[in-house]
Amino acid sequence: MIFDRKNLDNDTLVSFYKKLLLPRMVEEKMLILLRQGRIGKWFSGIGQEAIAVGSTLAMADDEYILPMHRNLGVFTTRNIPLSRLMAQWQGKPSGFTKGRDRSFHFGTQEYKIIGMISHLGPQLALADGIALADVLSNQKKTTLVYTGEGATSEGDFHEALNIAAVWNLPVIFLIENNGYGLSTPTNEQYHCAQLVDRAIGYGMEGRRIDGNNILEVYHTITDIKNSIRENPRPVLLECMTFRMRGHEEASGTKYVPQNLMEWWSAKDPLANYEKYLLSQRALLPEWIPLIRKEFTTLIESEFEKVYNEADIVPDINTEVEDMYHPYNFPAAQPAATPATTKRYIDAISDGLRQGMRKYPNLVIMGQDIAEYGGAFKITQGFVEEFGKGRVRNTPICESGIVGAGMGLAINGYKAIVEMQFADFVTCGFNQIINNLAKTHYRWAQAVDMVVRMPTGAGTGAGPFHSQSNEAWFTKTPGLKVVYPAFPADAKGLLLAAIEDPNPFIYFEHKYLYRSISGEVPDNDVLIEIGKANIVQQGTAASIITFGLGVHWALEYTAKHPDQPLEIIDLRSLLPWDKEAVEASVKKTGRALVLHEDTLTSGFGAEIAAHIAEHCFKYLDAPVMRCGSLDTAIPMNKALEDQFLAKARLEETVEKLLAY
């Protein structure tokens, strides 16, 4: 192993040695504690510390790093107190996640580190969003994100690199090629000669270096960082190393050939760097035991201090409240005047435009939304007013763009991501369910983001463009879900979602875009999330619905004026207005839950269950549901009409009233 100190003096070289030694000694202690049963699990980075330490040393303290779960050296090099790290590993209150997540699955704005989720690849797109925020705010910074050679097989790897290349984002994508994904060797992970060759396909620079050489890592990252700060662009860096222990300790290493272990043992990054410093007389032999003793004392004292801390006392209210970032709806709203008659689609566009004007840090992203104005022309003219920096056409990659939106939110921006159709959200499902929704609960980071979902049937668009898929999200704590039925609500709920610093799923019904109009305040009047609207008063029965279902209910009651039905438009589904529903059902004694989604496991089942549990003694009939058929949505109009819940609404109401 050849070390090139370049312009580094002896004191700096020794400081690097200490940074390299500390995580190794911490790990050795953790392995002992694991065997003693004093900690639960450990993912070892022994043998590959030079990558984490060398790269972190090269980055400025105010530049974001997104590490993996073997990169203890990132955290120690950023000088996070060992007591906080050990509290995190032991699930103590003073850790970063209040015992809610383990090892390195956390982030910290204080140290500009954003930890991974177990799905590996999604963090790569977050780095894109973080870097985009720096570019938009004219900050000459670099973002560093790690991945393993195994995770390069995921689609998220491709999406993130492609986005960064297309947008010229200053991101260093660092691959720790440590030979194995759990027990799967590299020859079963990819077929190219070397992973860095993939850079060519994205039109980006790629480098391959010895990841066990701390000086080579440091100088390479320094060179790349300084270059892309001035000339923003992504770089792919493959660092060759080896994992000297199992995927986690229970896995062992029996699947690794002994000769391979011996070859890499000779390339130990700590031992080789120590020999180099001794040869340079930058480090004297008698210093080594003194440094080790100092670290041993520190590690022992920090561990025992945390080990003796009181354990977490579970509290239900704390757990529930921490799912969401605190937000108080404004106590007073401006008068809703003047008002203009607008179509549903124009009300949404109006809300987006006002949000963009109010918040210079709000960015809208989606397929074809810039010059073309989006598939439904909702953002037509936005580029001319706000510029392509804030109204961004995206590649076709829902997961990467949702992740980039989250990265923007992490780095001080607001993000709106448009799904061209709600059906396409499946391609970004992991980012929404496991990243957006859980982040505040895990480490108190707000994710100020809205995902717009053009949804629903009635246009003959078939199985892949017509689903009303709100139930996929209403069972996911951490998200807020809204579904307006009228133009004024569409604008007011959208503006409220933009204001609220939590992740929103905003459903907008395609059939309603140009089919209904109504009075819409010209100013920015917000509608409180979680508050239903009594669309029509009645006494015979309560119809609880939302979205297009509200219009079906109104159409039905217009044809049956002799039936005084009360219509409750929920507007918000997560949270939903239990008090309004209960009050209505207690008044009428009968309840029908109507929705466009399939009957089985539709959101209406949750409402019906709540009514049955909390309003049973007030009911004069069973709670009834009216939903669409338990099939995919057909394209043919006659088949689609048969599929939709509207086809069974009349008979269900008559059954309810006749009971």
Q: What is the 3-state secondary structure (H, E, C) of 448-459?
A: CEEEEEEECCCC
pLDDT for 651 beyond 80 = yes
pLDDT for 520 beyond 80 = yes
Report residue 242's pLDDT band, with 50, 70 and 90 as the boundaries.
Answer: confident
Q: How far is CA 402 from the centre of its chain?
A: 7
| Partners of 625 in the β-ladder | 593
CA–CA separation, 505 vs 507, rounded Å? 6
Q: Which tokens in the block code for residue 362?
A: 């709000």
| Residue 428 CA: distances (Å) to CA of 147, 425, 434 | 19, 5, 10
CA–CA separation, 346 vs 356, rounded Å? 15
What b-and-e string marks burial along 25-38, b requiring 16 or more CB atoms within 10 Å of the CB?
bbbebbbebbeeee
pLDDT for 625 beyond 90 = yes
pLDDT digit string, tens, across residues 134-151: 999 999 999 999 999 988
Tell me the mean pLDDT in the region 379-396.
Answer: 97
294 backbone dihedrals φ, ψ, rounded to 5°:
-60, -45
pLDDT for 33 beyond 90 = no
What is the CA angle 517-522-524, rounded to 5? 115
pLDDT for 256 beyond 90 = no
pLDDT digit string, tens, across residues 290-339: 999 999 999 999 998 998 899 999 999 999 999 999 999 998 888 888 99
CA–CA separation, 150 vs 120, rounded Å? 9
Tell me the mean pLDDT in the region 476-493.
Answer: 98
pLDDT of residue 171: 98
Count how many Cα atoms sit within 13 Å of the Cα of residue 454 in the half-sphere of its side chain: 27
pLDDT of residue 510: 97
110 backbone dihedrals φ, ψ, rounded to 5°:
-60, -40
pLDDT of residue 41: 75
**Gap between the terminal Cα atoms of the chain:** 85
Please give the helix or strand (H or E) that residue 654 lies within, else none: helix 649-658
CA–CA separation, 547 vs 572, rounded Å? 10
In three-state secondary structure terms, 433 is helix
Tell me the mean pLDDT in the region 505-510.
Answer: 98
Q: Evaluate whether 470 touches 422 at the Cβ level (below 8 Å).
A: no
Sheet harboring 205-210: ordered strands across?
Answer: 107-108, 113-114, 65-66, 143-148, 171-177, 235-240, 205-210
Q: Which tokens in the block code for residue 625?
A: 């549901």
Report residue 17's pLDDT band, with 50, 70 and 90 as the boundaries.
Answer: very high
Average pLDDT, the chain: 95
Dump the DSSP string for 66-81: E--TT-HHHHHHTT--
Query: Which range (27-36, 180-189, 551-560) has the least confidence?
Result: 180-189
| DSSP tag of 644 | S
632 backbone dihedrals φ, ψ, rounded to 5°:
-70, 165
pLDDT digit string, tens, across residues 170-198: 999 999 998 877 788 888 888 888 999 99
Report residue 262's pLDDT band, with 50, 70 and 90 as the boundaries.
Answer: confident
650 backbone dihedrals φ, ψ, rounded to 5°:
-60, -45
pLDDT of residue 336: 80
pLDDT of residue 136: 98
pLDDT of residue 522: 95
Total count of residues recorded for the chain: 659
CA–CA separation, 239 vs 391, rounded Å? 36
Dump the DSSP string for 197-225: GGGGGGT-EEEEEETT-HHHHHHHHHHHH
Handedness of CA 422, 428, 429, 435 (dihedral sign): negative
Please give the helix or strand (H or E) that residue 238 lies within, else none: strand 235-240
pLDDT of residue 42: 80
270 backbone dihedrals φ, ψ, rounded to 5°:
-75, -50
Report residue 125's pLDDT band, with 50, 70 and 90 as the boundaries.
Answer: very high
pLDDT of residue 102: 79
Query: Which range (185-194, 429-438, 456-465, 647-656) has the least confidence?
Result: 185-194
pLDDT of residue 181: 77
What residues are labeled active site? 465
pLDDT for 240 beyond 80 = yes
